[in-house]
Amino acid sequence: MLLSEICKEIGLKLINNDLEISGIHTLSEARNCELSFFNNEKYKDSLPDTKAAAVFIESKYASLLPKTTIALITDEPYLKLALASRFFAYKLQTKEEKPMTGTNCDISSKATFGVNVTLGDNVTVMAGVYIGDDVTVGDNTIINPNVSIYHHCHIGSNCIIHSGTVIGSDGFGFAHTKMGEHVKIYQNGNVIIEDDVEIGASCAIDRAVFGSTTIKKGAKLDNLIQIAHNCEIGEYSIMTAQVGLAGSTILGRNVVMGGQSASAGHLKIGDFAQIAGMAGVTKSLDGNKVYGGFPAIEQKEWLRNQAKLNLLLKSKK
């Protein structure tokens, strides 16, 4: 889509030369045919190095952009991103066709497939499954009844996905107008499930805004887990029932999260960290330690604090 057309639709003026835009991405990942945005000083250092064709940005930061990048001046860059995202959203369709399959697949006649679906060897697909457009599924994977896999997602080999799980639904992303109205940010990324992953029943794994939400090799997810957009679950990590991760959380290798524990967004949990049940992670955590409580701190410290609190309360009786 031409940049001039996008600007016209979202109420901005383009005073530079026009060019064709193919999508939207982050400052660090955007190519010279893509839009980006800047609304958080945390990412200020990314401005001089961005390869984006144009950036929604406030005027006071525009001078930090490289000369090859067009500054689209606005006092609401995040809102303008949301308005522009709809132009690049995948157009859903109801068209169905038989998938391309490898050898020895066992596919229920009650499963539904979009277009250009590819299944590897020895794949099992049970009744009530929906697999959307351009999805690929690797060898020896089992997809149990009533699983939904949205368009453009990738499922690796030797995976098991249990009933009722949804992979690739939209992440929870909205910009807000000055009047408090909520404007959808279209989620134009996908989900990648690597090899040897098992996902329990009734989990929700959201597609990325751009790029991919990724569940890495060997990870094991229990039932009723929420993985928000752009999260990354490290190799061989374990997540037990009712864990919830906010957007862009990154788990390292072999992280263990106990039942009903959760994390805030845009943080990292280091390799081999353990999070106790019902703990609330509010900041990035180092690996090779055990954490508990809310906000989550090292478990030994939290237990000591609880003991001291109990003694204090008893002394006041």
The pLDDT tens digits for 157-203 are: 999 999 999 999 999 999 999 999 999 999 999 999 999 999 999 99
Q: Which pLDDT band holds residue 316 (cuts at 50, 70, 90)?
A: confident
Rounded to two decimals, the pTM is 0.94
Res 283: pLDDT: 98
Looking from the CA of 13 toward its CB, the CA atoms found within 13 Å total 1
Report the C-alpha gap between 231 and 313 in whole angstroms.
40
Q: Which pLDDT band holds residue 13 (cuts at 50, 70, 90)?
A: confident
Q: Can you say whether the dihedral through the CA atoms of 22, 59, 65, 211 is positive or negative?
A: negative
> How many helices and strands, by DSSP H and E, does the chain display?
3, 35
Please say if the pLDDT value at position 29 is more than 80.
yes
Q: What CATH class has 3-88? A: alpha beta
- Name the nearest CA neighbour of 76 among 218, 161, 164, 181: 181
Token pair, residue 69, equals 């990048």
Res 14: pLDDT: 87
User: 3-class SS at 10?
Assistant: helix
Per-domain boundaries in the chain: 3-88, 100-300
Is the preceding peptide bond at 295 cis, omega within 30 degrees of 0? yes
Residue located via tokens 């237990």: 303
Report the C-alpha gap between 239 and 254 in whole angstroms.
10
For 136-163, the pLDDT digits (tens) are 999 999 999 999 999 999 999 999 999 9
Token pair, residue 292, equals 């508990």
Average the pLDDT over 204-228 and give the result.
Answer: 98
Query: What is the SS3 assignment for 69-131?
Result: CEEEECCCHHHHHHHHHHHHCCCCCCCCCCCEECCCCEECCCCEECCCCEECCCCEECCCCEE
Which position among 151, 152, 162, 229 bears the catalytic label?
229
Token pair, residue 267, equals 């943080």
For 264-294, the pLDDT digits (tens) are 999 999 999 999 999 999 999 999 999 999 9
Q: Which pLDDT band holds residue 314 (cuts at 50, 70, 90)?
A: confident
How many of the other CB atoms lie within 10 Å of CB of 110? 11
Res 146: pLDDT: 98
Q: Which pLDDT band holds residue 15 (cuts at 50, 70, 90)?
A: confident
Q: What percent of the chain has pLDDT over 70?
A: 100
Res 87: pLDDT: 97
Please say if the pLDDT value at position 108 is more than 80.
yes
Q: Which pLDDT band holds residue 75 (cuts at 50, 70, 90)?
A: very high
- Domain 100-300 CATH assignment equals 3.40.50.300: no
**Do residues 210 and 192 touch, judged by C-beta distance below 8 A?**
no
Average the pLDDT over 41-68 and give the result.
Answer: 95
Average the pLDDT over 79-87 and give the result.
Answer: 97
Average the pLDDT over 46-64 and give the result.
Answer: 96
Please say if the pLDDT value at position 317 is more than 80.
no
Is-catalytic flag, 229? yes
Res 117: pLDDT: 98
Q: Which residues contact 263 (CB under 8 A, 6 or more apart)?
A: 244, 245, 246, 249, 269, 280, 281, 282
How many of the other CB atoms lie within 10 Å of CB of 300? 12
Res 1: pLDDT: 93
Neighbouring-strand partners of residue 212: 190
- Name the nearest CA neighbour of 284 among 26, 42, 90, 7: 42
Average the pLDDT over 245-260 and give the result.
Answer: 98
Give the Cα-Cα-Cα angle 185, 21, 176 (nearest 5 degrees): 20
Average the pLDDT over 108-123 and give the result.
Answer: 98
